[in-house]
Amino acid sequence: MSKGSSQTYENHLARFEARSNVAKGLNGAEDILIWQKFKDGDESAFVYIYNTYFEDLCHFGVQYAQLPIVEDCIQDMFVSLRGKRGQLPDIKHAIRLYLFQALKRRILNVLKKKKPMFSDDLSQYPFEVIPPHESLLIINQSQKDKLSRLDQALRGLNEKQREVVYYFFYKGMSYEEVQNMMGYDHVKSARNMVYRIIKSLQKVFVMVVLCWPL
Amino acid sequence: MKDSNYNIDYFLSNKYFVSWVKKPTEESDIFWQRWLKNHPESHEEFKKAQAIILRINFQGDQRIGERKEELLDLILRERKSQHYVEGESKKTLVLKLLPTLFRLAAACVVVILMATYLFSEFPVKNYPGEVQTVAFRTKSNPKGQKSIFFLPDKTKVILNAASQISFPEEFNANSREVFLEGEAFFDVTHDANRKFLVRSGEVVTEVHGTAFNVQAYSGEPVSIALQRGLVSVYPALAGQPTIPQYLKPGEMITVSKDFETAVISQFDFEEMLGWQEGKLVFKRATMETLIKRLERWFDVEIEVEGKVKDSWKINGIFKNENLVNVLEGVRYARNIDYQINGNKVTIRIKNNQ
């Protein structure tokens, strides 16, 4: 246990964070610049934003509703953003976060207006965690068992927890972004949520810990 | 240093680690590979955390991206979708009434259209000599066969088995009309000036630039499933009240006896549209449905021996499978026996069911 090495590591991480944010334009100068250009009426900035986030938004949306409905919402969202580009607020975080929040509101609104639907409609079970296609990693039965136990634990999470899993573990969002997506007042709530999820997967980890060759 | 801070929890709660596993960049790759080298004691936990994150996956949709260009085009032309909802609280009464007004207006349009249709037909009977004759073409598929072709306006049609479609060799200047018996999928070429109408049984489907499926086998309910765009559906008989039903993408309408009792519901894409890709899809299908579809698909006659319980249902997806394999599947799932004799099939329900 050495505090020293952990300290260095944190420093590393902070530097790495700063560099990679510049490189990816995450939360950083690039997003703010593009957003400003779009607000000033630059059409190519608008098209750039659309092209960059379209697939991401679709994938997020289909966690709530069928693709055609999601596509409609995305269409309306962009029409409306483009229509009132002058009055839009400046961006505090990433563009992606702003769009995700807007789309979530829109889809939930549309779903609320819809009549009750069939039981197999996605909106009844948002953010379903499904295992990826069997990968080469799976070599033997015992590994298979562990994976299926993990899948079970993931499926056992409640809706809010699954939503956080989507943002944090699947989309790689920061705690602050998770806070914003979930509408929490404090970042701390987002952190607690993630910790609680890790805790409830803990049981599985214990089994998995024994051997997990990659 | 052995049990340091770096356990699974540590990695899983680290945003940068998670981002790297999900979406490695050149830079994060270098960082974490180097990190691992410098912390060999954490190797195992590191790998476990990595495996767990890789296992986390969410439902997507294969069709994501297909409409990217099309939607951008609509957005740039400031077109809103049919689902458009403005901020509820700001809505004035007029705005609330708009959909109704729109419906009424649309109904008027349809009535006028039908009126002109009737009038244009009228002279045919009285002055046959003076009316220019339009040559009609008919495409039909026997059981067990599907076909793909294009209408004169380049609309793509996928015609299912045991189905028939008639259309003029050249569409006129005002509308495009086709007559369908059976099942077909249409991907309609956009033409703002000429409506596209599908007449099937007692139902007319009017199209507004769209891809959709019509199922209208005689003696069965007519169903129209919309993949994208917008269609309105209304009864073909001029005497009936003609307020059209609008379908949004992902919705289907089923008209059984009369139009008043038509049901709009969400449909399963695979079940309704899978046939185009050679997929025979059954979702909670009854024996009756199973038989009808197999008979059309494979051009056979099926007879059932034994009593079928009302609760009998079957699920299954068969892609480009032959009859034997499909029947084997049913046999396996529902404990039946079958016998194939030329194009006659006998299914025997075992009593213990």
Check whether residue A12 and residue A99 sit in a common domain. yes
- Indicate the length of chain B as a whole number: 353
Residue A147 to residue A204: CA distance in whole angstroms: 9
What average pLDDT does this structure show over B156-170? 88
In a domain, A174, yes or no: yes
Q: Given CB atoms, is A139 within the 8 Å cutoff of chain B?
A: no
| Residues A126-144 pLDDT 10s | 888 877 765 444 455 666 6
Same domain membership, residue A147 and residue A100: no
Gap between the Cα atoms of B144 and B294, Å rounded: 9
Q: How far is CA A172 from CA A157, A168, B17, B252, in A?
A: 19, 5, 9, 37
Instruction: Verify that A85 and A186 share a domain, yes or no.
Output: no
d(CA B34, CA B31): 5
8 Å CB contact of B48 and A67: no
The answer to whether residue B31 scores a pLDDT higher than 50 is yes
ipTM: 0.80
> Number of structural domains, chain A?
2
Q: Which domain holds residue A75?
A: 3-124
Selecting from A58, A170, A212 the residue whose C-beta is nearest the C-beta of B58 gives: A170
- If one compares A12 and B318, the residue with the highest pLDDT of the two is B318
CA–CA dist B12, B18 (Å, integer): 7
Q: Is residue A44 part of a domain?
A: yes
Residue A133 belongs to some domain of the structure: no
The answer on A170 and A109 residing in a single domain is no
Same domain, A120 and A201: no
Domain assignment present for residue A129? The answer is no
Note whether residue A214 is domain-resident. no
Q: Which residue has the higher pLDDT, B178 or A115?
A: B178
Q: Which of A68, A93, A124 is the C-terminal boundary of a domain?
A: A124
- Helix A43-61 vs helix B68-76: angle between axes, to the nearest 10 degrees? 130
* A85 and A150 fall within a common domain: no
Instruction: Write down the pLDDT at residue A11.
Output: 60
Q: Is there a single domain that holds both residue A149 and residue A59?
A: no
Higher pLDDT among residues B250 and B30, named by residue = B30
Domains of chain B by residue range: 8-55, 94-270, 278-349
Reduced to 3 states (helix: H, G, I; strand: E, B; else coil), residue B170 is coil
Cα–Cα separations (whole angstroms), residue B113 to B107, B118, B174, B207? 10, 9, 10, 14
Task: Tell me, yes or no, whether A165 and A97 share the same domain.
Answer: no
CATH code, domain with A204: 1.10.10.10
Based on the fold, state whether residues A99 and A150 are members of the same structural domain.
no
Q: Is the residue at A178 inside a domain? A: yes
pLDDT value at residue B9: 87
What pLDDT was estimated at residue B4? 56
B200 pLDDT more than 60: yes
State the nearest Cα–Cα gap between A2 and chain B, in angstroms: 7
Contacts of A205 in chain B (CB under 8 A): 8, 48, 52
**Amino acid symbol at A43:** E
**pLDDT tens digits for B322-334?**
888 888 888 877 7
- CATH dotted code for B278-349: 3.55.50.30
Q: How confident is the model at residue A28 (pLDDT cuts 50, 70, 90)?
A: low
Name every chain A residue with its beta carbon within 8 A of the beta carbon of B50. Answer: 214
Residue B353 · residue B321 · CB < 8 Å: no
CATH, domain B94-270, list 2.60.40.10, 3.30.310.50, 2.40.50.140, 2.60.120.1440: 2.60.120.1440
Token digits for B302?
């099926």
Provide mean pLDDT across the span B267-293.
84
Co-location of A181 and A87 in the same domain:
no
